[in-house]
Amino acid sequence: MRLLISITFFISSLSASAGALTWSDLDAGYLYRSEFKIQMAEEVVLHPETELLLLEKYSLGTPLVFFKFRDMACEDLSLKTELILFNPDPDTADDSSIGLSYETNCEIDVFVETKDYYDKSIVH
């Protein structure tokens, strides 16, 4: 009986951690799913569960880490937006806003401050 309870607890803890990943968890070449609805412009909305392929991840040599995703549901290669700010974890005391811009070829550029690298990302 104790074994069954332990297994159940272990499985439920895995399920709980299956939510949004931290930025540090992400690796280039992997497919992720959007966690949020993000209005990037009037005509550009990133919907929850949109598949995003991480193309690049690297430090910019400043207090920023850069991520480039490809929106796998995109149909208009010419879409482009200005840089916006989005806070993936508004319930925390610290502002962990990130910068996002939608670029041509269905790519999304994301700028994350180094201090937020271990915080909740926008994907799972």
Q: What is the pLDDT of residue 61?
A: 83
Mean pLDDT of the chain: 87
pTM of the predicted model as reported, rounded to 2 decimal places? 0.83
Tokens of 56: 């690049």
Q: What is the pLDDT of residue 18?
A: 56
Contact 98, 88 (CB under 8 A): yes
Tens-place pLDDT, residues 23-63: 999 999 999 999 999 999 999 999 999 999 999 999 988 89
* Cα–Cα distance, 81 to 112 (Å, whole number): 18
Q: Give Rg (Cα) of the chain.
A: 16
Q: Which SS3 state, helix, strand or coil, does residue 67 take?
A: strand
Confidence of residue 96 (pLDDT cuts 50, 70, 90): confident
CA-to-CA separations, 105 to 2, 40, 50, 119, in angstroms, rounded:
53, 16, 16, 28
